[in-house]
Structure 1
Amino acid sequence: MTFKHFFIFVVLLVLCTTRILAQGYELKTIVIDAGHGGRKPGASGAISTEKDVALKIALKLGAEIKSQLPQIHIIYTRTTDVDVDLYKRAEIANNAKADLFISIHCNSMPKGKSYVDGVETLVAGSHRLQEQDAAIRENADIKLEKNYKENYSGYDPADPASFIMLSLLKNTFRDKSIGFARLIQNNYVNNYKRTDRGVKEQGVLVLQRCGMPAVLAEVGFISNPTEEKYINSSKGQEEIVGCIVDAIKLYKKNIEVK
């Protein structure tokens, strides 16, 4: 599916789902996406790479959801160190008719800013073009994919105009995505006093293509030595997973209409 064809798909999707979303729905299927993978390592720290940290947390997240919410079906976009194209990650969720999409990532800053720390959760949107650093970084993987110009026809990950075009797609699932993202952030801050970098609307391609509420969780800065150790530790990963699972439970309660 090309980028242009995707717009047609979204228009039809909006027409089909607006009434359903307004009435509420049951949370049955969650897709968990471990960012990057294979020849796409993502950001790197002193002792780890983003792809490895994301995979460990994603697998622990799925296991904990199964333990606490066994009625929910969990689907992973990857369970090993493999390369999954961005459009295929969203395609997996769309084909499964998932009710929620959660992508796990690590944040990063350039050299000289290793002191920056904290958590932020991204949802699909454009917001201010000068604040698209995370989106540009996460979307850059598409240039490593085969036939990326065909699969993402009309989209340039470094072109702000692409973010403006993508912003037309965000509104269908915007409120639920933001609501879920805020629950995650609140848990990070209230439970473990993590630095709150907020919920941000950005032009992250994998989220824009998802036909359901979707978030990208930046669980910490791999470029910060202290935070890198935390997100690699069993304790840190358990706390991160706990925050997300607790958010899922409250989100489920809020959206389900009996």
Structure 2
Amino acid sequence: MKNKILNRLKRAICGVGAIIVCFSLFSFTSVDHPKNDTLVNNSFKLRTIIIDAGHGVKPDNAPPGHYSRGASGSFSSERNVTLAIALKLQKAIEKDLDGVNAVLTRTTEDDVSFERRAQIANENKGNLFISIHCNSLADKVVRQRVGTRRGRAVYKSVRVPDRSGKGALMLVYGLHRSREEQNAIKNNKIEDDSDLNGDGLDPNDPVVIILTDAYMRKFRKQSVKIANLISTEFVDTDGRRSEGLREQGIYVLCHAAMPSVLVETGYINNPDDEEYLNSEAGQNEIVNSIVRAIKTYKTDVEQLAQ
């Protein structure tokens, strides 16, 4: 088995030079990809996509874990919008992409912990992880005049809603959480490499460490690729505003052993975005753009495997 890993390591080392390893701390732009990816098996197919509907209502009997209530608008909640979009996206993927299975991390309003979301993704051998969210801005502090005292104006600091955010945003996991991504890869079977599956391998073996690092870099490159494709669809096809790509230390992204992106579909505390996110037309437009991006991504990664 060690010989098999060594052989794969040689191929990995040859491919590492072609992998983009330097990204901006806060934003990314589209990158050109090599024609050959030595870390992808010739038989690789995009078979399973994990769709993660962000947040939810924490059940009374919820097991220990990290939960988050999500954002709210004037008449709607993030947990409801994300689930509606995720359910539509699952149907669209299985309808429009032959042979691709879409797995949801939650199908009801009940929340699922961050740990369980990543576990579902890895247990189902996902090839791509897409987390659906709604963005929101925190209240801002402003100085307001409240009266006059002894001929001088009196001010006080008050918190007011900040509704200036508008448009979509793509997030990929932060480089400062790379070790967690490496551990996820080591502990979960890689679909296109049956030897790197965590069974009987020494996680401290230099061979395993280098090969795992190569996979991590490949997954990050592909995460940036799908994020760019989705953002481009939102802007060029739908005419929406996009804040581009940023990196952030998000648990579910760095613990999923696969390319992963979090899609902030809009600012739910912005009146215009909230109307859009809750409308059938808006949700369908978001879903269709994501599906088009996945189709392009699927074609590209499968061609690289040939």
TM-score (norm 1): 0.74
Alignment partner of 1:209 is 2:237: no
The structural deviation recorded for 1:116 is 1.4
Question: Who is 1:146 aligned against?
Answer: none
Greater CA radius of gyration, 1 or 2? Answer: 2
The answer for the alignment partner of 1:116 in structure 2 is 165
* Mean Cα deviation higher: 234-243 or 35-44: 35-44
Give the percent of matched residue pairs that are identical in Structure 1 and Structure 2. Answer: 46
Structure 1 unaligned segments of length 5 or more: list them.
Answer: 1-14, 128-168
Q: CA deviation at 1:41?
A: 3.1
The offset of 1:212, in angstroms, is: 0.2
CA distance in 2: counterparts of 1:43 and 1:174, whole angstroms: 27
Aligned equivalent of 1:189: 235
Aligned mates of 2:103, 2:135 — CA distance in 1: 24
Question: Once structures 1 and 2 are overlaid, which stretch shifts more, 180-189 or 105-114?
Answer: 105-114
Q: Please list the CA deviations of residues 166-224 of structure 1 after superposition, one character each: whole Å capped at 9, or x if unmatched.
A: xxx96341100000000000000001221120011111111000000011000000010
Residues 66-110 of structure 1: CA distance to partner in whole angstroms, max 9, x if unpaired?
A: 110131011110110112110110111111111001100000002
CA-based RMSD of the aligned residues comes to: 2.4
Deviations for 1:36-69, whole angstroms, at most 9, x for unmatched residues?
A: 1122430011011111000000000000011101
User: What residue identity is the alignment partner of 2:256?
Assistant: C
Query: What amino acid sits opposite 2:39 in the alignment?
Result: L
Output aligned runs, 1:15-164, within 5 Å. 21-23=39-41, 25-39=44-58, 40-111=68-139, 112-126=161-175
Unaligned runs of 5+ in 2: 1-8, 13-36, 59-67, 140-160, 177-214
User: Which structure carries more helix by proportion?
Assistant: 1
Deviations 1:120-168 (A, max 9, x none): 11111148xxxxxxxxxxxxxxxxxxxxxxxxxxxxxxxxxxxxxxxxx
Q: Counterpart amino acid of 2:169?
A: E
Distance 2:38 2:254 in 1: 19
Question: Structure 2 length as normaliser, TM-score?
Answer: 0.63
Of 70-79 and 241-250, more deviation after overlay is shown by 70-79
* 201, 222, 225: which one aligns with 2:268: 222
Instruction: Give the distance between the partners of 1:21 and 1:245, measured in 2 at CA.
Output: 25
The number of residue pairs the alignment matches comes to 205
